[in-house]
Amino acid sequence: MKNKTTIFIVAQIIIIIVLIWVIVLLANKDILGNHSDEGESEEEIIVDYTTIVDGIKQIQLPSAVEKNSNIQYKKLEETKTNQKKLNYGIVQNISTLISAKANFTRVNYSIKKLKNQIKNEKKHLEALIILNEDNKNVSDLAINKKQIEISDLNNQVNIYENEKVNIMSLVQQQWGEVFVAILKNTNDPLNKLLSNQNQLVSLSITQIEREALPPQNIVIIPSISSASEIKAKYLSPSPIVNQSIVGKNFFYLTNNSKLIVGERVSAYISKFNDKKKYLLVPNSSVVWSNGQPWAFIRIKENGNFVRRSLQGMREAENGSENGWIVPDDKIKIDDEIVTNGAQLLLSEEFKYQIKNENED
């Protein structure tokens, strides 16, 4: 009887263990099944918004998705034709030139004053000599004293004349021969520069670009000032090379005083024989893929977005127009360029393709 009880207990234990294993296995199966359902659910969320129109892949976003993604676009803008960059320059501090002009004026005034004084003293000397010859009414000592005074005045004139020469020499060395004219002639047009009606810019131009240069008229692009573009005319070569800027330096005179002294600027000239129209693609519109620049255009007819290559198109070379310059035969001026969300559209275009590659 005791053996039967033992066998019965052992059998119950075995049954309980088997049931536990069955429960565990069923639970694991449910978990695996749930993961599978979640995967299927995730796959259902992925939507391919790309479509093919006339053999070209386009992105067709629902209006709600476009709005929530903050996709922004605007019409392309026309830009300057075939801009040619001349390198960089700096707005000159002309305080030393102003100081030289002030010193030159002071010296000239002193010389003029001394010469007038010498003229009067010589007349006085002639009168003394006449009196001296007339019964010695004036002593020889008085005549000698007056002659010494005149000699001293002449020496002072010579000192000022030397100072004048030194000032002109210094200006010529630092600024060039053309600026010596400012010192000599108060009616010289360059005197407007000293009264802050114009400004002086030292522009660097490389050897290759100097074959037919310097150009007479340029457009300066500020880096700090609020002015967008400032016209300037060629003035003269600069006798001093700016070590921080590669190339030979030339002076240009602006038609106003809107720049900041010491401000670094860039400049360009326009080739007037190029009649092509060029458009500006903003920097915010440019995305990179496979080492190439791209931009997205919104097609007005259907509201879809299409990617356009910017390969071979050049970057705008001035500070007021940041972006890429493209001829209007590649992108039309009526096209709307995506200015915000281009990277998102690029991801959307390749998202479904990446998903399929992962499944393979």
Side chain identity, residue 338 = V
Whole-model pTM: value is 0.55
Distance CA 350, CA 166 (A): 72
What is the full per-residue pLDDT of the chain (360 aa) written as tens digits?
A: 556 677 767 677 777 777 777 676 666 555 445 544 454 444 555 677 888 888 888 888 888 888 888 989 888 777 654 555 666 788 999 999 989 999 999 999 999 999 999 999 899 988 888 888 877 677 888 889 989 999 999 999 999 999 999 999 999 998 998 888 888 887 777 888 888 888 999 988 765 555 556 788 888 878 787 766 788 899 998 888 766 666 688 999 998 888 889 888 878 775 555 566 777 788 888 888 887 888 898 888 888 899 988 776 766 654 445 677 777 666 777 778 898 988 988 888 887 665 554 454
Distance CA 76, CA 10 (A): 87
SS (H, E, C) 200-241: EEEEEECCHHHCCCCCCEEEEECCCCCCCCEEEEEEEECCCC
Q: Can you give the pLDDT at residue 99?
A: 92
Q: What is the pLDDT of residue 319?
A: 45
For 159, phi and psi rounded to 5 degrees?
A: -60, -45
